[in-house]
């Protein structure tokens, strides 16, 4: 099958470059990643309300001139991190598509205009600061989406899920609102890092229905948390964990998880040689199972220096 939908080519995003003669190029990023992403409207819907974004970010130091001895200062040093974000819009007409697109655009605008800071966290206080900053940005995005809806009656009631992961060195952070998911695939085992914010999941959490009933429940797609003009809770769930060598992070919308069970997702991740191939196979499998919704996947496979 040909490549489905719209997706970036798989890419190994590792620091590269050529140092000037006589200088030493040093990189201080313990985690590097191969990434890929694919999005498809599915077989039923006419438009795609999913959006995703993958980036490498960082800071560098390059010595231009100095009279210090060359052995005590590098000519250039660099450290990088990787970020992935996925958003699944809800709302009539094209409103959902606008909500998911604007949520990502607003985040990029906030990041672009944020003051520069230290890239890598150093201890619990710095980690807490990073998580608090993430919560603040999600709140700002939610507020801005609400303002858009109030200014345009065609956008009233629109909203979006919002699931993001990013690493600073081996520290991985997750921010999550809605029912798009983040998974960690480690040592052939698939772990869901996020918890679906739906009425059906809430009923299961309270013991009203069994977990096996969620996928068929009529409230399985009704969100209890979302960003935008939905009236739902917008507070993100935040967490932090440590990356290990060989870890794979998968972000996906419910267009994948409604169609493909976790054991099949794990099998595809285990068998694909590259992130690009894994993303294509996951989307193809969702389409083969019916493709009832937009389906989007974003993936990163990490190499961690010991």
Answer yes or no: is 110 within a domain.
yes
pTM of the model: 0.87
Side-chain-side CA neighbours of residue 246 (13 Å): 7
Task: Read off the CATH number of the domain in which 26 is found.
Answer: 3.60.40.10
End-to-end CA distance of the chain: 39
From start to end of the chain, where are the E strands?
Answer: 6-13, 25-27, 31-40, 50-62, 76-90, 159-160, 162-168, 171-177, 181-186, 189-192, 227-228, 237-242, 248-252, 295-304
Mean pLDDT of the chain: 88
DSSP string, 214-251: GGG-TTTT-BSB-EESS-SB-PPEEEEEE--TT-EEEE
Is residue 133 predicted with pLDDT exceeding 50?
Answer: yes
Answer yes or no: is 198 within a domain.
yes
Answer yes or no: is 295 within a domain.
yes
Answer yes or no: is 250 within a domain.
yes
What confidence score (pLDDT) does residue 117 get? 53
Strand order in the sheet with 181-186: 6-13, 31-40, 295-304, 248-252, 181-186, 189-192
What confidence score (pLDDT) does residue 91 get? 87
Answer yes or no: is 1 within a domain.
no
How large is the average pLDDT for residues 72-89? 87
The more confident residue out of 14 and 142 is: 142
Q: What is the DSSP letter of 21?
A: T
How far are the Cα atoms of 46, 136, 266 from residue 299, in angstroms, in the given order? 25, 25, 13
Answer yes or no: is 155 within a domain.
yes
116, 122, 125, 128: CA torsion to nearest 10? 70
Instruction: Check if the beta carbon of residue 225 is closer than 8 Å to that of residue 231.
Output: no
The more confident residue out of 91 and 10 is: 91
| Residues comprising the chain, all counted | 306
The more confident residue out of 305 and 263 is: 263
Distance of CA 68 to the CA centre of its chain: 43
Instruction: Check if the beta carbon of residue 40 is closer than 8 Å to that of residue 291.
Output: yes
Question: In this structure, what are the phi and psi dihedrals at residue 166, rounded to the nearest 5 degrees?
Answer: -155, 150
What confidence score (pLDDT) does residue 123 get? 65
Domains of the chain: total: 1
Q: Pick the closest to residue 141 from 92, 180, 83, 101 (CA basis).
A: 101
Integer-rounded Cα Rg, in Å, for the chain is 20
Question: In this structure, what are the phi and psi dihedrals at residue 3, rounded to the nearest 5 degrees?
Answer: -60, 125
Is residue 5 predicted with pLDDT exceeding 70?
Answer: no
The more confident residue out of 76 and 27 is: 76
pLDDT classification of 13: cutoffs 50, 70, 90: very low
Please, is 200 exposed, middle or buried when counting C-beta atoms within 10 Å of its C-beta (0-12, 13-18, 19+)?
Answer: buried
Question: For residue range 14-64, what is the model confidence (pLDDT) as tens digits?
Answer: 333 323 333 333 445 688 999 999 999 999 998 999 999 999 998 888 888
How large is the average pLDDT for residues 113-138? 77
Which residue range(s) make up the domain with 130?
Answer: 6-304
The more confident residue out of 126 and 281 is: 281
The more confident residue out of 261 and 124 is: 261
Answer yes or no: is 247 within a domain.
yes
Question: For residue range 165-211, what is the model confidence (pLDDT) as tens digits?
Answer: 999 889 999 999 999 999 999 999 999 999 999 999 999 999 999 99
């Amino acid at each position: 099958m040909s490549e489905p939908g719209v997706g970036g080519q798989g890419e190994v995003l590792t620091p590269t470059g050529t140092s000037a003669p006589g200088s030493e190029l040093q990189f201080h990023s313990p985690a590097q990643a191969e990434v890929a992403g694919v999005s498809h409207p599915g077989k039923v819907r006419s438009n795609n309300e999913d959006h995703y974004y993958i980036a490498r970010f960082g800071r560098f130091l390059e010595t231009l001139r100095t009279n210090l001895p060359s052995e005590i200062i590098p000519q250039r040093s660099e450290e990088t991190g990787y970020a992935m974000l996925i958003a699944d819009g809800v709302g009539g007409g094209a409103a959902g598509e606008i909500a998911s697109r604007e949520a990502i655009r607003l985040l990029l605008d906030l990041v672009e205009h944020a003051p520069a800071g230290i890239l890598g966290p150093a201890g619990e206080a710095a980690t807490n600061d990073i998580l608090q900053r993430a919560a603040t940005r999600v709140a700002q995005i939610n507020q801005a989406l609400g303002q858009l809806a109030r200014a345009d009656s065609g956008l009233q009631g629109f909203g979006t899920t919002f699931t993001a992961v990013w690493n600073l060195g081996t520290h991985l952070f997750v921010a999550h609102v809605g029912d798009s998911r983040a998974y960690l695939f480690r040592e052939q085992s698939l772990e869901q890092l996020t918890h679906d914010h739906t009425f059906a999941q809430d009923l299961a959490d309270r013991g009203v229905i069994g977990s096996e009933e969620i996928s068929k429940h009529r409230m399985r797609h009704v969100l209890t948390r979302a960003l935008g003009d939905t009236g739902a809770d917008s507070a993100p769930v935040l967490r932090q964990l440590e990356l290990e060598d060989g870890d794979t992070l998968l972000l996906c919308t419910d267009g994948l998880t409604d169609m493909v069970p976790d054991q099949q997702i794990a099998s595809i991740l285990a068998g694909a040689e590259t992130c690009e191939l894994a993303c294509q196979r996951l989307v193809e499998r969702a389409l083969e199972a019916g493709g009832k919704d937009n389906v989007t996947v974003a993936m990163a496979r990490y190499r961690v220096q010991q």
